[in-house]
Each structure stands twice: as structure tokens, then as C-alpha cells.
Structure 1
Amino acid sequence: MTALARTIALVLATVPGLALAETDVFMVEGRPVSFIERFGAGSGLRAAEDPLLAQGAEVALVTRASQDELRAALAGFMSDIDEATDRVAVVLSGRFVHSATETYLLAPESDISDFAGAVTEGLALSAVTGLLAEYPGRAVLMLGTLDGAQVEGMRSGIGETDWPQGVTVISGRAQDVAELASDHLPRPGRALLPEARRAGLSVAGYAPEGFVFLPERGAQAPAPSREPQDTQPSADDRLWQSVSDRDEITAYRDYLAAFPQGRHASEARSRIAAIEADPFRDARRAEESLGLSREARREVQRDLELLGFDPRGIDGIFGQGTRAAIRRWQEASGQDVTSYLDGPQVARLGAEASRRAAELQEEAQRRQAELEREDRAYWQRTGEGGGPGELRAYLERYPDGLYADIARDRLDRFEAEARERAESRDREAWQAAQNGNTVASYRDYLATFPQGAFAGQAQARIAELGRSTEDRQARAQVEAEEARLGLNRGARRIAEDRLRVLQFNPGKVDGKFDKRTRSAIRRYQETRQLRVTGYLDQQTVVRLLAESLIR
């Protein structure tokens, strides 16, 4: 499989209700967004792909591509557009630079640094606008900008452009453009420009306030006719327009009562049957009327997770996992079980989550105080004045304890002293055992020196190695789980800083998860009664966020 095949998703389809017309969407994503960044950011253009496909659109999504792959993907997309294409959208998200006459998109993986490189290797915006100009009134260009583009001889961002007549242009931060593309571009009948302005995006070019990219379901392209048209709608049509706007069973029945054999009678009966077959239609429409943004949906998912109803991801997409979690919450709280939320339920869910977050923090503080009291008491009984055996016992019980660093330092000194006291042969045997570093090598040492100066260390290493296979498997599993969160350097610094604020001493806040950071995560998880691994997972991140908001 080529790199291009790995990075482009292409689906061909026909938009329902557009009478053989096709809708084409080309999207370029500049970089992935990590799970922890979703505390306050969008999760990218990939979330727009499935909703667009569900509407029958032809979608080309390019992520993390080279400059050649990016141009090849655009060329392929352009070659697939033909006379059957009715409307086109291009969404470009990434690093832009511009000269006095042209704007260029730099591929996510490119290292272009000078004017010549940008001109020869960058994707010129004019190539895209030239394509869109062929679809006046039916084309939209969405440009999401990321920081970090530094090219000698050019300026960062999108330059002044004479947009083609009839092309709607929406631009702004990549995060906001991605949310508009995923939340509103795939929605039939949704006016894009009011939503864009509410999100703080700029609008240019062809910008009628009611511009809609996808028509309402069931809308038919006007068929050519040789017959003269009556410019005045009939009473039948006027009533149908009214009841269609209401879109309720009672309205359709009113129409049938007035026009049982009317022009729209068959459609009215079909819509009644569809409504009756959907028991949760009103609940779904109530949720849709809320117009929840992507971040608002992520907040709902975090609230559900905090209350113990796992939504199977914090991504702002209400899929099967989230719907199941909503059902379980509704059932547990004695509400109508629909899997959809209305305004009062969203407010109630948020209030319950806030109360639960405060309760969990109080519980965690009590548990932390109790664990530290037990830690100090055990240290006083064993390690504080004890020898190597007592120190090892303390570390076995409290590997991340309050006195773990002191215990390890003392053990190091005891071992150094033992080396000084040990006979030469004992010392050589211990060195050989360490060089082998296997259960067998340490047992050989103990067989020769059962009371040797390093017998305690040998027994401890045997116990540790005996657990290593199982430990390695468990560690690989939690490492993979953390990796799936997609944490970049900045996201790791956020996690470290929140551990620091909560007084778990993760060490330097630098985005590097070292031993001290892992220890801080383990202690945080233990005090919060989470799975203790030393690695971040969805539950741990949600709790960190909730406690940060409380503080």
C-alpha cells in the first residue's frame, strides 16, 4: 500500500434527493489533536467525514501527507468532478504562508523554509479557487489556520485574495473551522454563515445570509418543463408548505383532511408513517434544537464519565457508546429513557457532575490523608531506624511512598558498605550475578554464599525478576492505552502542571514523563481509587480536568 493510500479516504456516492446530482468535499487536516487537548479544542476534520458520507457526499480526506501526496490527492479529487457534480466544498486546515500575490498551503510533513520552496512545493490557493469558480453559488471554501509557518520571504497566514464570484469563503482558527465543518457542513438545510460568525470566523466572497451547502432531505432539483408555469401557488401547495414547516403528525393529518387526494397526499402519509415508526423523534428533535457545539458535546461526555457512565470516548461525537451512556444515566435518574437530551437534562447532568466532582475531591483528600498517615506510621516502625531488610519491606509496600527516596538512598549506602566489607570472592560472585541479571545467576550466588554480604539484594532481585514477564505485559498494555490518547509535548506539560497544582510533585514540568512523573501519576491514581498504573488513561484525565476546574 502506498503512502497516499494510507492517508486518503475516498468514497463515491450520490446525495439522496438531489436527482443524480453529486456533492464533492475535499479536506486537508494539518495535524491530529490529542485527547488531553480536547479539554478546550476540537478533534479535527476527521469527525466531519462520516456525517458527510452519510449524506451521500464524495469525500477525500487527507491527513499527515507529504507535499507530493497533497497535490496528487487534489488532482485526483479534481479528476473525479464532472458534469454530475452539483456542489463542491474544500476544507483546508494547516499552515498557510503568502506573498504579495499568492497564498500557499504547506503540507503537514513538509520542512519548507524559503520563498522558492513555498512557490515550487506549496499548494497554491489559486489552484483551488479556480476549481470552485466553476460552481458559482454552490461552492464553499473553508480555511483553518495553524500557527508555526515560518518561511523566509513570506508572511504567515492567508493573504488578501480576490475570491471568485459565487464562491463562499469561511476562514479562521483551524479548531473553529474543524468544528464548523463537522457540526454544520453535513447538516441539510443548515445556514452556514450565521454559525460561522457565531464561532468568530471571517466570511468573504459570495456571502448570502441564508447560504446552505446541503439542501433539506427530500428536496428535488427542479425538473425542466415545456408547460407554462402558474406563478401563484395553489391552496393545496400553500397548505402543504405550512404543514411541512411544522413537520408534525397533526399537521399532516390536517392536510389529508383538507386534501385527501391532494398533490402531496402520498408524501403526507409517508411522513406520518415515518414519524410513527420513530418513537424518539420528539426527543431527538429536542436535542437537535439545542444546537450543541462540539465542545458542549464533549462536556456532556466528560460529565457522563465522571458520573460512572462510560461514553466510550471524549470526542464530541454522540455515537453508540454515548447514546448507551445517556440511556443508563436517564434510567438511573428516573427519567424517560430515550438516549437523547433536552435542555433541562443537560443542565441536570452538568449539576450532578459538578456535585460528584466535589464529592470525589473530598473523598480523595480524605483517602490521601489516611494513606499518608499509614505511610508515616509504617516508616516509623520499619525503615526509619531499620536496616536493609526493613528498608526493602518499606519499599515493597510503599514504592512511591513519602520516604521512598530516603529508603533507596540508605539502601545504596548499605550496599556500598557491604561491598567494602565483603571478601573479594563474595564481591566477585555478586558482580557476576549482576552481570547475568537473571534468576539463575542470583540463585547461583545464593547457593555459593547463602549468608553473603549481598544475599538480601539477590533475594530481592529474584522476586523482582519473577514478576517481570507479567509486569512487562501489563506495562505494554497501559503504555498502548496512553499512546492512544495522542499526547503531544504540550499536552504532557498540561498533565504535569495539574499534578503539580494538586501537590503530587511530578518533577520538572517539561512534557517528559520520567520516573518522578510516573510516581506522581501512580500516587494520584491511588488516592482517587483509580486503576494504579502510572500511565494516563481516559478516567485519569477526566478526573484531573474535573479537579482543576473545581480549584
Structure 2
Amino acid sequence: MRSFTLPLALAASLGLTMPVAAQGDFEDVIGGIAQTLIQQELDRNAYIAAQEANTARAYRDYLAKFPKGQYRVNAERALERLGSPVEGSPAAAAQIEARLGISFAQKVAVQRELTRLGYRTYGTDGVWGRNTRSAIAGWQRDRNEAATGYVTEAQLRVLLKGAVVTPPADDGTTAGTISAAQTEAALRLTRTQRVTIQRQLSDLGYDAGVADGLWGSRTRTAIKGWQQANRRAATGYMTSAQVRLIAQQAGSAAPPAEEEVNGAALEERLMGLTLDERVDVQRRLRRLGYDPLRTDGTFGAGTRRAIGEWQADEGVAVTGYLTADQVRLIRVETGG
């Protein structure tokens, strides 16, 4: 109430000398200011209450009461972090697409169709990276639809020219044949990625036991608990979207998705490096302080680790696979 003391006192003092009509206008102004201050305080208190509850329902209640509130963006980001993004947002669009269970062959077909229509994906390799997302967004924009860069089931049908799209069932299976365990197996998580996820689960309050990369009953129980808390089917097995969500909630980077790694591997393979060139890369990495263990032209675990460490220090995506530009940069850094 202290905030209103000065305006009210000012109104009282000026009211003694102002004409009656002017007094009425001034009182309306003061009343408007008071109402604004009251609304701001209610807005703030409602957001604090949502923060304290820290649930998707609490944040949605806040947005329903204050759709244009001063903390709207914060509430929307919190919903994304909790895996329950606002409808129509890019994060929600990404979730909708993920539930479609688009196959590799379908992704390739979509890229080819977009290219045929004049939207450049810069590759038809089944990996939907930045260029493919931009192409999808451009296609959506030209259709006067929300340009999210993520496809809906109806849009996918159009791009696949009517081919049937069968989204995963609620129990984690696709068309009754792919189990939750098979879905996780398709991710091909490395031992390091599994250790990271165990640690993230424990950090979030779901005891996964010893973070050794071996997912036994304790880790599976932790995964189920996390899935239930995040309104996912409690299968005890991870999906790609869930791996990313856990990382977001734990405040760390998600392990690279298998499709990202496959895309990087394909990019490296397309360079067609000769045996001598591969040996040269290994030797140059060693000169830079990144030990590949062997310099025989075979890019094994040691070389992949060395490449990843170099990429991390360069501030680029850590895939363990090289691009043509990165090979050139390594040569420059070691004297050409």
C-alpha cells in the first residue's frame, strides 16, 4: 500500500485547487495508475506461486490468468523445460513431429519432395538438420501455415503424397511391432552416453544407482519414475526426445542423437579420404596435442576421441567425425 501513498496525497492536495471537471479527470488517472500497480503485483505473485509449485499445471494456470503477463516468456520457457511446451510453439511442434515416428526412408522421401518443389535441403540423406528445417519452414510459410520447421501428420501426408503415417502407440510401440526396448536400442547410445544419463537422472532426484553405463533394474526404475513424473509412458526405456529432455532438465547438453552422429559419419565418408590422408590427419592431431593412439589410417576409438576433443576446443559440434572444412583447419593449424 505504500506505493499508492504519493499519488493519493498528490490527488488530495491538488483537489483543493482544481476545478470540479479537472478533479474528475485527475482522479481517473490516479485510479488507472493504482489499477495498473495492483495488476502488476497480482501478476508477480501469481508467477512466484507458479515458480514455487514448479509444475506444468501451475505455469499453465499462470498463463491462463495473465496471457500477456510480464513473466509470460519465463513461464513458457519453464513449460518447455518440463516437457510440456505451449501449443503452437516450436518446442510443441517438435514433440508432435517426434510422436509420428518418421522412418529414415520417409525422411529421405520428404527431403526429395521438398527439393523437387524448390526448397533446398542441401542433401537427401535422411538427416533433418538446419537446412532441412529451413526448407520445411519455407514450405509451411508458403502454405500460410505456422512456419515451425517441424511437420504435422497432415503435412507429412502431403509431402509423402498420401503415404500412410503410423505414429507410435501410447505403450511405446509402432504399429504394434516395435517395442520400447527396440526403440531405445535404435538410439545406439554409447557407454559414455549411458553414464551421462544415469548421472542426470540422479541429479534430478531419480536414483539410478552407480553411474557405470550398465542399465539394470535400478536404472530402469529411475527411468520409469522420471517418465511418470513427466507424463510419459512408463516403459523404463528411453526415446531420443526423452534423452534430450532429461539433459535440458539437468542443465547439461544432451548426448548427440544417433541420427546426428550418422549424418556426421556420412559427411566424413563422402570426403573419400585416402589411407595416406587419414594417416596425415592422425599425425597432425597428435602434433596439436590430441593423441589418436595409432597413426595407421584407421579411425578407431582413439582417433574418434581425439577428434572430439579437438572439436570441443574449437567450439564446434562434438561428433568425433570430421568435415572437409575441419580437415583443412587442422592442416592450417599444423602449418599447412
- Normalised TM-score (structure 1): 0.17
**Greater RCO structure (CA 8 Å; 6+ sep):** 1
Structure (1 or 2) with the larger CA radius of gyration: 1
Which structure has greater strand proportion? 1
- Normalised TM-score (structure 2): 0.25
Which structure has greater helix proportion? 2
